[in-house]
Structure 1
Amino acid sequence: MKIAIGNDHVALEMKLKIKEYLQEKGIAVTDVGTDSPERCDYPIYGEKVANLVAHKEADCGILICGTGVGISLSANKVNGIRACICSEPYSARLSKQHNNTNILAFGARVVGIELAKMIVDEWLNAEYEGGRHQNRIDMISEIEKRNS
């Protein structure tokens, strides 16, 4: 598995910890986030991760900014991306099971590192259930096509 990870300056420390956590699990990580504590713009990194996922250069992505909101909004502008911001593990698991999310986002100012690890684990260990959920995913894709 290969995960793309991106962050802004606010989330630098958390990104480094999550990246290390993933690598310790044997997961390949492509880091396209900032490595600088200098102020930067999160949309740049949301788009970079989203493009890697959309073009199948990464299996999925993780985005981190102050709240997770802005960076996930940026990622969701890329066709084929279903980024979900999660501040607890239950939503992370269901976002994958029901919505087949391909990018997980959270906020470095919202969750601590241990909770972030739990959120990541629930999301990575969940599997898309398909079935009754596929019709809704197809509907989302149709909305995306109509508005491209």
Structure 2
Amino acid sequence: MKIVVGCDEAAYKLKETLKKYLEDKGNEIVDVGVYNENPSLYLETADKLCKEITNGNCERGLLLCGTGIGMAITANKVPGIRAAVAHDIFSLERMIKSNNCQVLCMGARIIAPQSAELLLDRWLEIEFKDGPSTPKVEKIMEIENEYR
């Protein structure tokens, strides 16, 4: 899978750990920053990451900051993107199975690297399947289009 990753300075170390973990699993990674622990605007990173998905370059994205919340809010401002914070398996599964989210957001101040790796294992396995949740996702896109 081709995955784009991005973070702010609070999550730089976690991004580097998870990027290597995903690469070691055979995924192709596009890293949109940040590349050190200097203060940064996570909004710019989220925007870059979402463009990699909306332009068709990457299938999924992983956004990391202190809590994951700011990244999710920012990513969801981009038309065509559905992002959610998940720090547990059930939320992770529902974000894809029920909402067809392309972007997983996590907080480096909330989740341990080992737990994040376990979530990524499941994240790589799950796919959205056309079914009972399809009308919900279509309605999300319909509402989004009303504001364009």
TM-score (norm 2): 0.97
What stretches of structure 1 move > 2 A for 4+ residues in a row?
Answer: none
Give deviations 1:9-63, integer Å, cap 9, x for gaps: 0000000000000000010000001111111111011111111111111111000
Give the Cα separation in 2 of the matches to 1:28 and 1:14: 18
Q: Percent identity?
A: 33
Query: Does the 8 A contact of 1:92 with 1:120 survive in 2?
Result: no
Equivalent residue number for residue 129 of structure 1:
129
In the alignment, is residue 65 of structure 1 matched against residue 49 of structure 2? Answer: no
Query: Does the 8 A contact of 1:9 with 1:36 survive in 2?
Result: yes
Q: Where in structure 1 are there 5+ consecutive unaligned residues?
A: none
Give deviations 1:69-115, integer Å, cap 9, x for gaps: 00111111111100111011221112111111101000000100011
Give the C-alpha shift of residue 129 in structure 1: 2.5
| 2:133 match: secondary structure | helix
Give the C-alpha shift of residue 121 in structure 1: 1.6
Query: Does the 8 A contact of 1:63 with 1:105 survive in 2?
Result: yes
Equivalent residue number for residue 85 of structure 2:
85
In the alignment, is residue 74 of structure 1 matched against residue 74 of structure 2? Answer: yes
TM-score (norm 1): 0.97
Give the Cα separation in 2 of the matches to 1:18 and 1:60: 14
Equivalent residue number for residue 13 of structure 1:
13
